[in-house]
Amino acid sequence: MKPIIITVVILFIGLFIADVSQATDLPSTRKSRRVLGKVRPILANDLLSRGLSLSSPIFIRIFKKSGELEVWVENLKKYKLFKTYKLCRFSGSLGPKIRRDDRQSPEGFYFVKPNQLNPSSQYHMSFNIGYPNSYDRAHGRTGSALMVHGNCVSIGCYAITNEKIEEIYTIADAAFRGGQSFFRIHIFPFRMTKKNMEQHKNSKWHGFWKNLKKGYDIFEDEKRPPDVMVKNKKYVFEKS
């Protein structure tokens, strides 16, 4: 066999193994397999009609004030809005989560890996948003197991009903199977426009929200979520 053919074969085998490894990291139950089998064909057709693919990378944004969760799908290196879902319930008010049992839903920049999907959730299906992140830990914030889940009950989580979580879970599962190693989820108190920032300028969280706005603005301009780091207890951003 010629060297160039051997190289191609090795690369193909490596990609195949990587894809299988990615898929085997995904939690699975009888219920999740049933849900995925039911929802995948519907979503695939819906995405295709918008020029998008079910296996493409995704990005999620949540806005508390308007009660919205957006799912964005990558297309030609930019992200295109696929669908906006209405939240059913979240906990607390505008502002970040500070401590365990404060009944407050988080705000900030998080990411979700395959093992954070939970098909066995007591609220139908869910995924862990990754709170606390490095920013939260730098500020001494406590709590854990904060989810986006089904049903319409919240004790710090974002509840979105069973039907909607089935769609979002299926999109996330497909993105991971397509090779995305994690997806970002950015959570804001409201759309970070100049008008909204001005309306909330007297909030004790205004400084925190000004920091969030920097990441918000990069995505609004670039239609790609920025890379996010934490330095000196603040979020810092780079275009991805």
C-alpha dist (Å) from residue 182 to 13, 60, 185: 23, 11, 10
The torsion angles phi and psi of 116, rounded to 5 degrees, stand at: -90, -5
Within 10 angstroms of residue 106's Cβ, the number of other Cβ atoms is: 27
The CA-based angle 13-19-22, given to 5 degrees, is: 140
**What is the rounded CA–CA span in Å between residue 69 and residue 161?**
12
Active site residue 149: yes
C-alpha dist (Å) from residue 1 to 4, 6, 94, 125: 8, 7, 64, 49
Determine the 3-state secondary structure of 219 from DSSP: helix
Q: Which of 88, 124, 139, 149 is catalytic?
A: 149
Q: Which of 152, 157, 186, 200 is catalytic?
A: 157
Per-residue exposure over 150-175, b if at least 16 CB sit within 10 Å of its own CB, e if not: bbeebebbbbbbbebbbbbbbbbbbb
The first and second tokens of residue 218, run together, are 């990069």
Contact 190, 66 (CB under 8 A): yes
Residues noted as catalytic: 149, 157
